[in-house]
Amino acid sequence: MNKIFQRNHCIADALFSLLPAVAAMVLIGAPSHAATNPAAGSKTNLMVRVLVVEEKRTLNVTIKGAYRIWALPAGRLLKKGKGLPVEQLLPTANGLRLGKEEWQTRGLRFEPLEDRDLFLNQSQFRGTVDILKDKNALLYAINRLNVEDYLYGVFITI
């Protein structure tokens, strides 16, 4: 019985230690945009943004199922399909190149239509991933997911 109390006490401590961070994300993150078309004013969900990759020269992107790729910040649909095999994403002088395709944009949003179908360098992600190029041609990846999915992922690891 004592071990169960200690385990529950540890989980409660972890939850309480996360409350200020979650409250800050909720307050700072609002309003946010829908996970679909970044330019659309459609359904709004409270989203969390997490920097998952920084200062990389290349990234490998894989999407298992149906997907869409959007230009950022314009919100223009660039490509849609079913199953994106491992493709290397590189910054270029004019924008970004994914495999053999190059787009004149400083960012891409990868939107899998099914959850957990998106992989960056063999790491699996929920939600969408925005990849941005900085002035030094380095790549940054930001995972965008709703608060419930974020908290689910955080509490599963406890």
Tens-digit pLDDT string for the chain (158 aa): 555 444 444 444 544 454 444 444 443 444 444 444 454 444 447 989 999 999 999 999 999 999 999 999 999 999 999 999 999 999 999 999 999 999 999 999 999 998 878 999 989 999 999 999 999 999 999 999 988 877 877 776 65
pTM of structure: 0.70
Q: 73, 113, 122: which is closest to 95 by C-alpha?
A: 73
Strand partners, 131: 108, 141
- For 45, 50, 82, the CA distances from 123, given in Å and listed in that order, are 24, 14, 19
Q: What distance in Å separates the CA atoms of residue 125 and residue 108, rounded to the nearest whole number? A: 16
Sign of CA dihedral 78, 52, 156, 83: positive
